[in-house]
């Protein structure tokens, strides 16, 4: 443990060094594509002074570099959002700022107060945009926002490190990790027989004298050319999912759900009555797993059917309220409603199929008419608009309003599935 902690500690030191040296404005033009950083880090002499094997050192460098790039992406996204909302800007101003945020060389040049020099084709585009905007003012705006929102990165975590394939080997029901002493490895017995051939993340728990190995799961992204529809959806406790065009998926969801809830309630009652002669929970856990498995199979099967029939490019839905919100008394049935599970599965499947998810605010959404925006009433699953007289299925109306809100830009966030790992060779 001491030897591995030594690695983790140095790993953190390398990351902080990279953050400090390349995280700022001055390095913006050096971090893409990244070999400049690698070369400079080799030349820095840090690796030799720490005595950290290169199988860890360069991973720490790229780890930190990845964080820096993410940090810049977050900063740019924030400024992009602010730009869109700023009423003091003309459309030309906004175009110009968006250009700067998109073209990294231009962005770096503005922040470093250097002249903007771009490849000929883009330079022409730049000059056309710049001619119509108040450049000086916009440059000052950009610098100010970066100073305000761009955070300095630092890690205090000294219990985690990544290991490249060459840093470990499996054997003797365990794993051997390279350490600082040359040609020596430490042996760690493992609790399973899984063997991976990829970069591992290792988290140390020195207090418990154990460690965890974290392995990335790779999925290939399937892009569908014909997935182009924008679909608003409403999730429900009876019918799992209703679209804005009134298509329903998981219509038996309520039945499955009720059966599962009733069974669990009954089991819990029995358990609490028979505490004295405890019947044991093993059988209970087995049965629970089995029932839950069946429910989850149904959910997945219906979500797949939804995607293949609706072919969505964008899915709009209500932002999930924070857990525990909604004022205390939630019934067991609602608690056991697999909403969290459905959401996670939907998000995962959207990543897998390169579908964008757009979240909208949900306040008053089910009382708003999707046709005219007026207020209506709901009775027994039917929505009646008191303004325009529309009579619609309640969930279809909700899904329609969700879609409308998304289209008018009343969105919480929109997320594209770019962070998915592509299948390695």
The alpha carbon dihedral of 272, 275, 279, 282 has a sign of positive
388 binds Zn ion (CB under 5 A): yes
Beta strand pairing call for 160-163 and 200-205 = antiparallel
Output the smallest distance, CB 412 to Zn ion, in A: 25
| Candidate list 15, 371, 395, 405; residue touching Zn ion; CB under 5 A | 371
259 binds Zn ion (CB under 5 A): no
| Candidate list 390, 407, 412, 420; residue touching Zn ion; CB under 5 A | 390
Output the smallest distance, CB 388 to Zn ion, in A: 3
Output the smallest distance, CB 314 to Zn ion, in A: 24
In angstroms, the CA 421 to CA 3 distance is 31
In angstroms, the CA 214 to CA 199 distance is 9
With beta carbons less than 8 A apart as the criterion, state whether 314 and 230 touch.
yes
In angstroms, the CA 51 to CA 169 distance is 21
315 binds Zn ion (CB under 5 A): no
| Residue closer to Zn ion (CB basis): 353 or 371 | 371
Output the smallest distance, CB 319 to Zn ion, in A: 24
With beta carbons less than 8 A apart as the criterion, state whether 201 and 160 touch.
yes
| Residue closer to Zn ion (CB basis): 139 or 371 | 371
215 binds Zn ion (CB under 5 A): no
With beta carbons less than 8 A apart as the criterion, state whether 167 and 55 touch.
yes
Segment interacting with Zn ion (CB under 5 A) among 72-80, 83-91, 136-144, 383-391: 383-391
| Residue closer to Zn ion (CB basis): 313 or 374 | 374
Segment interacting with Zn ion (CB under 5 A) among 10-18, 142-150, 201-209, 389-397: 389-397
387 binds Zn ion (CB under 5 A): yes
- Two tokens at 394? 């309640």
Output the smallest distance, CB 376 to Zn ion, in A: 6
Output the smallest distance, CB 238 to Zn ion, in A: 24
372 binds Zn ion (CB under 5 A): yes
Torsional class of 328: left (φ above 0), alpha (ψ -120 to 50), beta (otherwise): left
| Buried b / exposed e along 231-269 (16+ C-beta atoms within 10 A) | bbbbbbebbbbbbbeeebbbeebeebbeebbeebeebee
Burial class (CB in 10 A: 0-12, 13-18, 19+), 115: exposed
Side-chain-side CA neighbours of 266 within 13 Å: the count stands at 8
Output the smallest distance, CB 133 to Zn ion, in A: 42
DSSP 212: E
385 binds Zn ion (CB under 5 A): yes
206 binds Zn ion (CB under 5 A): no
Residues that bind Zn ion (CB under 5 A): 369, 371-372, 374, 385, 387-388, 390
């Amino acid at each position: 443990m001491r030897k591995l902690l030594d690695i983790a500690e140095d790993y953190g030191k390398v990351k902080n060094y990279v953050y400090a040296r390349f995280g700022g404005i001055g390095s913006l033009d050096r971090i893409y594509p990244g070999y400049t950083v690698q070369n400079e880090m080799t030349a820095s002499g840090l690796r030799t002074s720490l005595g950290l094997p290169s199988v860890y050192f360069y991973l720490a460098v790229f780890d930190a570099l990845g964080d820096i790039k993410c940090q810049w992406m977050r900063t740019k996204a924030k400024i992009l959002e602010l730009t869109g909302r700023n009423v003091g800007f003309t459309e030309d101003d906004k175009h110009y700022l968006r250009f700067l945020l998109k073209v990294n060389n231009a962005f770096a040049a503005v922040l470093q107060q250097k002249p903007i020099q771009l490849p000929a084709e883009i330079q022409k585009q730049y000059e056309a945009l710049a001619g119509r905007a108040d450049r000086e003012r916009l440059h000052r705006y950009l610098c100010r926002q970066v100073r305000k929102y761009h955070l300095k990165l630092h890690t205090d975590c000294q219990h985690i490190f990544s290991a490249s394939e060459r840093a470990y080997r499996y054997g003797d029901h365990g794993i051997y990790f390279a350490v600082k002493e040359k040609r020596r490895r430490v042996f760690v017995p493992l609790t399973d027989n899984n063997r991976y051939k990829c970069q591992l993340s290792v988290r140390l728990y020195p207090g418990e004298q154990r460690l965890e190995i974290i392995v990335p799961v790779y999925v290939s992204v399937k892009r569908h050319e014909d997935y182009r529809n924008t679909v608003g959806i409403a999730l429900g406790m009876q019918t799992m999912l209703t679209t804005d065009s009134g298509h329903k998926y998981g219509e038996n969801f309520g039945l499955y759900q009720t059966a599962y809830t009733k069974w669990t309630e009954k089991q819990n009652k029995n358990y609490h009555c028979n505490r004295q002669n405890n019947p044991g929970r093993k059988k209970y856990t087995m049965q629970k797993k089995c029932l839950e498995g069946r429910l989850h199979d149904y959910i997945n099967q219906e979500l797949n059917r939804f995607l293949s029939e609706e072919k969505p490019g964008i899915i709009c839905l209500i932002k999930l309220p924070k857990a525990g919100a909604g004022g205390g008394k939630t019934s067991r049935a609602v608690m056991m409603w697999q909403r969290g599970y459905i959401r996670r599965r939907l998000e995962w499947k959207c990543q897998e199929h390169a579908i964008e998810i757009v979240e909208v605010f949900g306040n008053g959404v089910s009382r708003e008419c999707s046709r005219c925006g007026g207020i209506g009433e709901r009775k027994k699953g039917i929505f009646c608009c008191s303004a325009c007289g529309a009579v619609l299925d309640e969930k279809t109306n909700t899904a329609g309003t969700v879609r409308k809100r998304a289209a008018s830009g009343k969105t919480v966030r929109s997320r594209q599935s770019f962070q998915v790992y592509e299948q390695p060779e």
